Structures are given as C-alpha cells and as structure tokens.
C-alpha cells in the first residue's frame, strides 16, 4: 500500500493552483511514486458557495476558519498567500507540529523572515521554500559541472530574469505593487529566485551595490477606475554582487520587458570554461571547455549534486510534461513530500529563504543610498 502525506493549502489563488497541479501530477505523471500527497484542506479568505474548484481539484475541505483548517490531520502546510500573510499561518503550522512548504519569498520583511527561520530551527521543523529553479535539469547540470571543477575558479557571472507583465500602465494596483504587502517589487518577486541560484551554484554573497527604478509610478486602484494610486516598488533592479570566494557578478530583473514571458538566463565564466543557461532550453545547459576549444550541450550522465535528490525521481518524462514551469513546481513539492515521509531535512529550507532575503534587503538598502556598497554579515 502506498504511503500518503496529507497536504493543507493556505491560499488558493494563482500560485495555489500551480502548487495543486504539482501535487496532482505526482500520481498522474510520475512512474510508480512511492509516496503520494493527499489533498486534505484549503484555507481561504472567504468561501464562495458557487466556487467548487477546490473540490474538483481533490481537496476534502475548504474553510475560511483557521481553527478548522489547523484541526485537520495535516502533515504539510503549503503557504500560497501574499508575502505579508506568510508569518501567522507558518507559526500556527509549526506550533501544531506540521512541516511547512512556503512560496518565495519567506516573508515580506527581513525581520519576519528571520523570525520564521529561527522558529523553524528551534523547533526542528521540516521546511522548504519554493525556489523551483533549482529543479531545472540545466541548473542541475551546471551544479554538477561546477562541483567537478569543469570551468575552474569562477571569475564572474550574469543572471537575468525578464518579464513583461507590468508594461500596461492601466494594469490596476495589486498587493505585488505595494511595499506594505509585498516587501518589494521586481527584485523581491523575481530577483529572489536568481539570488538563490547564486547561493546554490556559487556561494555566499559578501557585498551588494544596486540600483532600482519604478517605471510606472501610479496605476488605477481597480480595473477601469479613474482613481489612481501610488506604486512604491521597483519595476527594474540591478545588483552587483561580490561573493565571499571573490567572484563578482550581476543580477538584473525587470517586469517591463516587452515581448518577454519567461526570459531567464545565467552565464558563469571560469578560468577553464563557461557555463550558460537560458529558459528557452531548460533541459540542457551549455558548457564551453577551454582546453578542447568547443561548446558542449550533450551533458547526460553527470552525477547528482551532493545533497540533492535525483531528478529522475521528481520530474515527469517528456510525454507527461505539463511545461517546464509546472514540472519544476511538481518536482519541488514532491521532493519535500518525500523528505517529510522520510523525516529528513533538505535544501532549500527556511535558512536558504532567509539567506536570499538578506541579499534582497541589502539590494534595496543599497539602492536607497544611491548604490552605496552594503556588506552582509557573515553567517
């Protein structure tokens, strides 16, 4: 008989539905998974009696009452709310002895992120952050090649994420465009993914120098409204990072790139070669070998990076793929389901979430000081 891990979802908006697709995909898209997620309950701000999407998705209960939700037999609580609403349900889940899977960023402020990471560590709670780019095959290939020393000492790197979803000046205000709820704009939303990749692949950040811009400074307060409200977060951000190992590089993000949907790229330059990744080819990194003087893209049979679970246990075969973004959400969620079933911790956990948030905070601090260098405390 299959082992089951019971999941409760907090928030059932866009990202909550993406996480749900991931859980559903475990049984539908993976060959003979040893553990299955059981979709137990959804906690929402309000319950619309005409909206049965939660039931059709497979959940047994939907409620707007936190007490009812946390009384359910849950193994994992999955946080999919706006950033400012992470702290309370995470604390309640930890108090109830439940593992916690949280969307990035960990919280909307560094103080909240630090409090949650410290609480999880103190209580030995199993945690996971949805830094899903770690589960791309191309990124895993880069990690394996770096561990093998394939490009030698890293000199510099460039990471970019270009979206175009906020170019329309009449797109109305939302929580993502208000610092009190989001904690930041493009760099908080997109940059945190890239910062985590820098940590995962290259090491800790020592200093940050940054600039940000708000391109559209006010928007309709609601769709079609003539009343406009202020946007107080960044539409574009650029951070120059110096790592503790001496490598330097840039992280640039925007939500103002016309024609871009998921234009993510990463270039890493070393003394003996280069590694590159672009979201248009998510399953294969490119490697330039300086000794051989040639580019390679057939990077199969690389070892699984230390501490990671093999992607063969987490990703659907190509004929069952739901698109790479849904696939890596499936992989990240199922990795944590397996960790909970096995009772063991793994990365990226809340400490990884806190580390990324420290760099995000330093980025905004530097930008507010006209690009002054900000030094991160050694942890």
Query: Whole-prediction pTM value?
Result: 0.96
Helical pair 14-29 and 324-342, crossing angle rounded to 10 deg: 70
Give residue 16's Cα distance to chain centre: 13
| Helices and strands per DSSP (H, E), number in the chain | 11, 17
CB-count burial class (<10 Å; 0-12, 13-18, 19+) for 209: buried
Q: CA 240 to CA 250: how far, in whole Å?
A: 5
In the predicted model, what is the mean pLDDT of the chain?
96
* Chain mean position to CA 132: 5
User: Which residue in the block uniquely carries the two structure tokens 């990690």?
Assistant: 143
* Distance (Å, whole) CA 5 – CA 337: 7
What tens digit of pLDDT does each residue of 1-44 get?
Answer: 789 999 999 999 999 999 999 999 999 999 999 999 999 999 99
Q: Which domains does the chain have, with CATH numbers?
A: 3-130 (3.40.50.720), 137-308+356-368 (3.30.360.10)
Omega within 30 of 0 (cis) for the link into 281: no
Q: Is the pLDDT of residue 301 over 90?
A: no
Phi-psi domain of 44 (left: phi exceeds 0; alpha: psi -120 through 50; beta: other): beta
Integer Cα distance of 137 and 139 in angstroms: 5
Q: Which residues contact 139 (CB under 8 A, 6 or more apart)?
A: 133, 197, 200, 201, 266, 277, 285
In this predicted model, what pLDDT tens digit does every residue of 135-167 receive, in sequence order? 999 999 999 999 999 999 999 999 999 999 999
Q: Tokens 């409090």 appear where?
A: 115
Q: What pLDDT is stored for residue 262 in this prediction?
A: 80
SS3 254: strand
Q: Which tokens is 177 given?
A: 């465009």
Q: How confident is the model at residue 241 (pLDDT cuts 50, 70, 90)?
A: very high
User: How far, in Å, CA of 218 to CA of 238, rounded?
Assistant: 22
SS3 of residue 61 by DSSP: strand
Q: How many whole angstroms separate alpha carbon 81 and alpha carbon 15?
A: 8
Question: Helices (DSSP H) in the chain: which residue ranges?
Answer: 14-29, 53-56, 66-70, 87-95, 110-123, 137-147, 179-182, 186, 192-201, 324-342, 350-368
DSSP letter at 169 equals: T
Residue 378: per-residue pLDDT: 62
φ, ψ at 76 (rounded to 5°): -130, 135
Nearest Cα residue to 358 out of 179, 143, 196: 196
């Amino acid at each position: 008989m299959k082992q089951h891990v019971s999941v409760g979802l907090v928030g059932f908006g866009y990202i909550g539905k993406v996480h749900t697709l991931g859980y559903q995909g475990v049984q539908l898209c993976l060959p003979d998974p040893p553990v299955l997620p059981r979709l137990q309950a959804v906690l929402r701000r309000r319950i619309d009696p005409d909206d049965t999407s939660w039931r059709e998705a497979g959940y047994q209960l939907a409620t707007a009452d936190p007490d009812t939700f946390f009384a359910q037999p849950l193994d994992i609580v999955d946080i999919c709310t706006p950033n400012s609403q992470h702290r309370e349900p995470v604390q309640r889940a930890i108090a109830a002895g439940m593992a916690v899977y949280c969307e990035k960023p960990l919280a909307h402020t560094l103080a909240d992120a630090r409090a949650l990471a410290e609480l999880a560590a103190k209580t030995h709670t199993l945690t996971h952050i949805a830094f899903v780019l770690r589960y791309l095959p191309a990124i895993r290939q880069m990690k394996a090649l770096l561990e093998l020393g394939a490009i030698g000492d890293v000199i510099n790197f460039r990471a970019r994420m270009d979206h175009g979803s906020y170019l329309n000046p009449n797109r109305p205000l939302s929580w993502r465009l208000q610092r009190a709820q989001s904690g930041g704009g493009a760099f908080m939303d997109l940059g945190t993914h890239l910062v985590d990749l820098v940590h995962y692949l290259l090491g800790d950040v020592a200093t940050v120098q940054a600039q940000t811009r708000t391109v559209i400074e006010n928007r309709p307060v609601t769709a079609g409204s003539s009343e406009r409200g202020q946007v107080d977060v960044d539409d574009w951000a650029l951070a120059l990072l110096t790592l503790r190992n001496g490598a330097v590089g840039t992280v640039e993000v925007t939500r103002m790139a016309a024609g871009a949907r998921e234009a993510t790229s990463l270039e890493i330059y070393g003394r003996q070669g280069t590694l590159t990744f672009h979201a248009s080819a998510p399953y294969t990194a490119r490697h330039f070998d300086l000794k051989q003087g040639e580019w390679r893209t057939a990077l199969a049979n690389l070892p699984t990076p230390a501490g990671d679970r093999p992607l063969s246990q987490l990703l659907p075969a190509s004929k069952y793929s739901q698109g790479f973004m849904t696939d890596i959400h499936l992989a990240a969620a199922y990795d944590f389901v397996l960790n909970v079933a096995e009772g063991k911790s793994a990365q990226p956990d809340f400490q990884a979430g806190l580390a990324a948030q420290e760099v995000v905070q330093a980025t905004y601090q530097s930008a507010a000081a006209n690009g002054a260098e900000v030094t991160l405390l050694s942890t």
